[in-house]
Structure 1
């Protein structure tokens, strides 16, 4: 996924593609797709001829090819309608891009999911195939709700949301009728309460941040500027050297709070907190282990604190959650203070996506494994 992001930045510059809130939401949806598929791989769903595609780091290259393909073709198919506000133009773009996404989503199901059905003949996969219909409905809803969006972001968001729904439908199938596993990793225990902790608490924090910044974000949007982005043709050095001149500019006095309501900040906060809470719950309460040496060192130190205090609870992963919370607080503080030149917006997006990839993706995978017991 990170390699895909790097490649995508080159396309941003060459084709002058959008790097706004809409693109951020589309890319966040793609980040969510990777852990959805990884959980199915953990559950031994995919056929032996396909499962290698879902093992890191190949999964990132695999999804990168889907992302770039969907983005490029959506752009070429519907770009002639970009910027046209008429109902006819918007309906034509929605029909073309939506039809293309439907074809690609069906191909996605046929190539990746359908071969796995034969590997699990004891399961009917009724819920899973019904999920394909729901995924198509989500694509249609996305096309309707993204009126006036550029074709590229419409296509990217439509496919990613549809693919996520399709994957989660297969989670539901496993919950309803678990299939046999070669690895025998499944515990058979289905647990749902961690969702309220791992997803609920970060969601509450994000709601608070959004409410704190939405008014300034709306005011800044009305001025025609983007949060944290300097006006065109003004360099960062000029902005800093002439600080008094620009002190009353909307970008300067509205951006700090406006960025709190931006999908980039909300995505980083949600992702990092999700990862921290998922690790804490998984290790301290369900006995999972941590493979990353740095994270494991933090957890081990938390365990030593437990021993020193005479606390007989968990392995010390609570400290990892606290470190994640402190880290995301620092990242957000630095991010809202940062100003970027108009031509450098894609670098900011790259930073955010890197944070999402190492936070949101593993956090969602962990909660999926906890729920399915794999």
Structure 2
């Protein structure tokens, strides 16, 4: 979920009255019009061409989800010129990234030399994501706020926990996990990464949770006798993991009956977990508040 440094943002255990998280603000109208027009045009072109949305399509867009998150970190760190920075704020950065990814996907499908457009799409997104990631790391080096141990340990924990959750889910719902395949596993991992990274930020690095519902869960956990030993994030990890597994199982029938539509929804579910999770990890690496 959305996190920010404690200073000037939501402290743990204090809920905001707003529904949307802090930092969720549309840009000025001219930027909004440009991005909206780009999304509409790209969306129309995709609908007209009607490419199949498969399990591999969901996986191919994963690097683009990370790219959007990395671009937003750069916006938070004020690394972009004022003229283009509004394209990378929240939530417009995700629309900006979608438009760019859609253009690249459409272009790759039209190039005869590209025999396999989806791997090329994934590779392009991965290479582009390296640029804002490198800028964020550079920021951490220049401001003596680079932190690697806790964020990377969080990634390792998320991988392990997601693997265990997926294995258990496979035993409980073998048919459903077979239908969604690797795309379903990615969706579970994305939400586990979001939950674990949130816990690392709140319990270890002094960040505050910005999303009211997530903060409510942590507020409840703070009142439990486990708080001195486990912190406040463990309950959020548990809830997020169970919910992610449940949603993936529920989507299995949709994916089987309407593969393109079902996988499109699965891609969205993946994005709202993997995107914030990747954002949290990169933000922690670049701007640990204890090092600022």
So what's the TM-score if we normalise by structure 2? 0.73
User: Which residue is equivalent to 2:3?
Assistant: none
Is contact 1:32–1:361 with CA below 8 Å preserved after alignment?
yes
Matched, 1:74 2:108: yes
Shift of 1:255: 4.5
User: Residue 255 of structure 2 contacts residue 262 of structure 2 at CA under 8 Å; is this kept in 1?
Assistant: no
- Summarize the Cα distance change of 1:325–1:208 in structure 2 as closer, same or farther, 3 Å threshold: closer
1:275 matched to which residue of 2?
A: 194
Pair 1:299 & 2:215 matched? no
What residue in structure 1 maps to residue 235 of structure 2? 319
Contact 1:202 1:274 in 2 (8 A): yes
Aligned partners of 1:56 and 1:199: how far apart in 2?
A: 23
CA distance in structure 2 between the aligned counterparts of 1:257 and 1:283, rounded to whole angstroms: 32
2:178 pairs with one of 223, 246, 258: 258
CA distance in 2, matches of 1:211, 1:51: 42
Structure 1 ranges of 4+ moved more than 4 A: 3-13, 205-214, 336-339
Unpaired runs of 5+ residues, structure 1, are 79-92, 95-147, 179-187, 215-252
Task: Tell me, yes or no, if structure 1 residue 204 matches structure 2 residue 204.
Answer: no
Shift, 1:28, TM fit:
1.4
In the TM superposition, what whole-angstrom CA distance separates every residue of 1:260-281 from its partner, at most 9, and x where no partner exists?
Answer: 7x23112111110001011111
Between the two structures, name the one with larger relative contact order (CA 8 Å, sep ≥ 6): 2
TM-score normalised according to structure 1 size: 0.58
Verify the 8 A CA contact 1:11 1:17 in the aligned structure 2.
no
Bigger CA radius of gyration: 1
Matched, 1:364 2:278: yes
* Displacement after TM superposition at 1:326 (Å): 1.5
Corresponding residue number in structure 1 for 2:77: 43
Q: 2:139 aligns with which of 174, 178, 183?
A: 174
Aligned positions, number = 252
Question: How far apart are 1:11 and its partner, in Å?
Answer: 5.2
For 1:295 and 1:213, the matched residues in 2 are separated by: 24
CA deviations over 1:143-202 (Å, ceiling 9, x no partner): xxxxx52x3x24422321110122222233234434xxxxxxxxx432212234421123
Give unpaired runs (5+ residues) of structure 2. Answer: 1-34
Q: Residues 72, 332 of structure 1: CA spacing in aligned structure 2 closer, same or farther, 3 A cutoff?
A: closer
Cα distance 1:60–1:157, how it changes in 2: closer, same or farther (>3 A)? same
| 1:318–1:350 Cα change, 3 Å | same
Q: Tell me how far apart the structure 2 counterparts of residues 269 and 354 of structure 1 sit (CA, whole Å).
A: 12
Q: Quote the Cα distance in structure 1 between the aligned partners of 2:154 and 2:213.
A: 21
SS at match of 1:289: strand
Counterpart pick for 1:33 among 48, 67, 75: 67
1:198-253 C-alpha deviation (Å, 9 max, x unpaired): 21123234556788999xxxxxxxxxxxxxxxxxxxxxxxxxxxxxxxxxxxxxx9
